[in-house]
Structure 1
């Protein structure tokens, strides 16, 4: 096993143990979408033009995308907590790969996300959501969700290393709940004012949500939308890869230099 893989596996195990003993942030990010599904789907859904069950079928992919974006909050909090408590400093004194520490953290988050999405999917199926796009479409949708979660967690890891304070990170993490509100996760964008529609359709979360709906056979993409939302599968892939290309080296560099 290579040095990076061995060191990353060790850090991954450490993070899984930490999540096991302090699961608060993970539980919050995983249970909030279920609460919102029940609240929006049955309270607000009845006030919309579409029937309640049809809206819930629209809403579930959006909540899955919002869960993927929650990687920003968990990554930021965990990195800031480790930086403030001196864990990062101790890691830097060890003869281990510099990329292994943030990679192990993001890999652990990805594994917990796989498990955490199961209850939301089951509740979604119970309230009327159906996967009409076949097994291939479903696998593609969940692959995109995990890729975006992985990219979002790197963004959060970088921000946490910048902040280096778990209290501030926890407060700023709540701001990430605004991202789904400025996307098509909860409502279609067609009826929004011009400037707001542009903002929401260029939000990476909108491309991910639209891609999940398309691959699961729920709602076809709107051809009149901005390109990332009109071609959501390609848009979601490009957004995720762009975030990785930008934030992986930034995070590793920040981790390496934060002890200087």
Structure 2
């Protein structure tokens, strides 16, 4: 019996020894997901730095394209600061919708040898702001021989863009205003979505060979000082307005029996309609703020 019992004990112990030992479970998908998510979080924390770099580059690019615009004296041979001593008739703006008294500034070339400051003709008139020729006319009353140059508002320095882009809207014209305007005229064709600065150079005695739509540069010759149209002495009438882009008025004439209805309509549109709002010419010439 004792031998049989010993044999049973040995068999039991041998079977126990043959049982497989429990191994460490294989990793499951859930088990490895945490390290992957942790890695993703680490990568995500680096993104703000990349985003900041992109914003910085955008701001630097914007700063590079800020508009700068050269301004030239409209009278050749005189610096802009010299023009204050050349004013023979100052800017005297009327009430909105009225045609008088004076919607520009007159600049004259005085004979330095004459103590009475007699104005003389012949001084070269040149482009003050680069742009596109919007009007060319020869000896039409009251502006005489004249040129208008259009400069897009967005090409001006930021301070002028803000100042000229926020001009007060003119009220409707008074029915008692003495200026006669045609009652029925073709609707003007402008680009109302954009604004431009228009500079009129008037009373020229001669004019360069210019075409409407032609691009002109700062300092380019437009003509010479004269007294064509309604001018009692030689001078440059320098007039500045802000209005819808792309205006092509054709010809401006009034107060004369030879003025046609389209010319009078264009004159009224330019002077009193409120589509083209006068501004102080000396602001454009950087002589006043």
For the superposition of Structure 1 and Structure 2, which TM-score range results when normalised by the shorter chain? under 0.3
- Tell which structure's C-alpha radius of gyration is larger: 2
Normalising by the residue count of structure 1, what TM-score does the alignment of the two structures yield? Answer: 0.26
Q: Which protein has the bigger helix share? A: 1
Higher RCO (CA < 8 A, seq sep 6+) = 1
TM-score by length of 2: 0.24
